[in-house]
Amino acid sequence: MEVTIQVPEISDDTACEKDHYTIGGSRLSQFITYIRKVYRLRDHLADITDGRQDPTYSTLLVALAVFFCGLLRIRSFNALEPRLKETGFLKLVGAPSHLSHLGSADTVSRTLQSMNLNSVRNVVVGVLRKAERNKVFREGWIGSYRYVAIDGWEPIQSWNRHCDHCLVRKVKKKDASGKVIEVEQYYHRYVVAMLIDDRMDLALDFEPLLPSDLRPGPLRNKADEGELTAAKRLVRRLRQTYPWVDVVVADALYANGPFLSLLKELDLGGVIIVRKSSDEPLKEALDLWADKPAEQTFEDKAKGERIELWDCKDIETLDTYDGKIRVVRAQVSKADNDTVSTWCACVIGKPGNLSPRQVLRVARGRWHIENTGFHQWTKRWQFAHVFTHDNTGMQALYWLFFSAYDLLTLFLYRQLKSYGRDRAEVTQTISRLIDELRDDLARLFLSPWDTS
């Protein structure tokens, strides 16, 4: 029977190359060896604190249970509860031998609700800082820059359940008789920041939108907070937490002077989608282009596309932004269905030296946060399920789930290179890997955290 042996700490790229560094050589043990030896996950989770007095189950064990709940895509805490008594799951979280179970779903929920959010957020921050020190992001993406997409995300809506941090809106719906009525809907919305490139998309940070009664200053009790307000807080924290980030990529909501001015103040570049032809700086660029033919045209045979490009530099007509803005326009024609789509983006700061074709790639890359991020988290990672309806509890859960998502992504593309690298459908690749991890759980005969 194969057992773990003591080995010195090794680098990100070679941590799991040899199965004799793992227990049994299974994919699950290989993954835990990687996150233990390279990212010291258990040490980060051990630093999480909560407000419970003399708890029966340590914060570390509960955090590990939630981490693996997210990783293995267990659909709810009620579905997790039977596993809290299973021998395999107890070994998976490294529970001491005298414990026969880890409590109930209520135990997990109460612990999350009392956690210190900064200490949980530091788990994700610690993982990503270690990845940066290991030169995971050294090559960057287009133009060797590190790009972060930001966007609003609304995972939870309810007609009945609500908490003191819920946002509220009036929505028209049909009652039982078919009559259209206006009712209140409760929801939680966040602004999310995701590092994007051609292979690895990693969750960096998120910021909740505040309800009207919790807003600071003169706007208190007047209206719920908007996405842009929360996004500005998020971008400032991003710059402080991850100084190696270069460029922010965002949709048309962010194409305004105050947000561009914030990026300039923080020395961040920006590639922002613009849509309204009546708004500056796109209006000025369209006037300058008029009926002129495309400046560049090329064929992308791999995608079956014909792309025409226009480029306009040094526009200064936006009154609320003190600086020059570049506008790039692209018309993309599909050969197989005769459709034509138009992309326009304004560019400031560092990515100003990119070619128009590269700007288009970055602008289209913003969809990573929609597809690899929001869609996958909602449809496959159970993020839209209300595990606990409490503001602190939900944020703590999301931080732990994000840490599971990030570490699995790093493991897939840094370790299992022949398994997942360059596959077309990333969400299917990740789902297949998780199926392997769940199968391995039934065969776990030793705790993978035990290195004695």
- Which of 335, 365, 395 terminates a domain? The answer is 365
User: What's the token pair of residue 255?
Assistant: 């194409």
- 30, pLDDT greater than 80: yes
What confidence category does residue 19 fall into, taking pLDDT thresholds of 50, 70 and 90? very low
One domain for residues 261 and 344: yes
Q: Are residues 276 and 351 in the same domain?
A: yes
328 plus 424 within the same structural domain: no
- The answer to whether position 92 is within a domain reads yes
Q: What are the residues whose beta carbons fall under 8 Å from the beta carbon of 287, sequence distance 6 or more?
A: none
- Structure confidence at residue 451 as a pLDDT band (50, 70, 90): low
Q: Are residues 256 and 320 in the same domain?
A: yes
Q: How confident is the model at residue 396 (pLDDT cuts 50, 70, 90)?
A: very high
Q: Which domain holds residue 271?
A: 252-365
pLDDT of 24: 45
Q: Are 259 and 360 in a shared domain?
A: yes
- How many CB atoms are closer than 10 A to CB 36? 18
Q: How far apart are CA 294 and CA 180, in angstroms?
A: 49
The reported pTM is 0.90
pLDDT score recorded for residue 11:
56
* Alpha-carbon radius of gyration of the chain: 24
* Residues linked to residue 203 through DSSP beta bridges, in sequence order: 194
Is the residue at 333 inside a domain? Answer: yes
How large is the average pLDDT for residues 429-451? Answer: 82
Judgement on whether residues 105 and 36 belong to the same structural domain of the protein? yes
Residue 149 within a domain = no
Question: Which range, 369-373, 402-406, 446-450, has the best average confidence (pLDDT)?
Answer: 402-406
427 and 356 within one domain: no
Shared domain for 360 and 391, answered yes or no, is no
Res. 424: pLDDT tops 70? no
Residue 63 neighbours by CB distance under 10 Å: 30
pLDDT at 148: 98
Mean pLDDT estimate for the chain: 88
Q: What is the pLDDT of residues 130-185, one digit of tens each?
A: 999 999 998 899 999 999 999 999 998 888 888 889 899 988 888 888 888 888 88
Is residue 129 one of the residues assigned to a domain?
no
The candidate with the shortest Cα–Cα distance to 379, out of 65, 75, 68, 162, is 75
CA angle 14, 17, 21 (to 5 degrees): 100
Binned at pLDDT 50, 70 and 90, residue 9 comes out as very low
Residues 342 and 392 in one domain: no
Q: What are phi and psi of 235, to 5 degrees?
A: -65, -40
In a domain, 325, yes or no: yes
Q: Whole-angstrom Cα distance, residue 332 to residue 338?
A: 10
Output the pLDDT for position 431.
82
Query: Quick one: 245 exposed, middle or buried, by C-beta within 10 A (0-12, 13-18, 19+)?
Result: buried
**Domain tally for the chain?**
2
Residues 351 and 426 in one domain: no
Residues 23 and 55 in one domain: yes
Q: Which among 236, 237, 246, 240 has a CA at the least distance from the CA of 270?
A: 246
User: Is 332 in the same domain as 300?
Assistant: yes
Q: Establish if 336 belongs to a structural domain.
A: yes
Cα four-point dihedral sign 322, 311, 286, 347: negative
Query: For position 5, what pLDDT does the model report?
Result: 35
φ, ψ of residue 74 to 5 degrees: the values are: -75, 130
Please report whether residue 160 resides in a domain. Answer: no
Burial class (CB in 10 A: 0-12, 13-18, 19+), 170: exposed
Decide if 353 is inside a domain: yes
Distance CA 29, CA 25 (A): 6
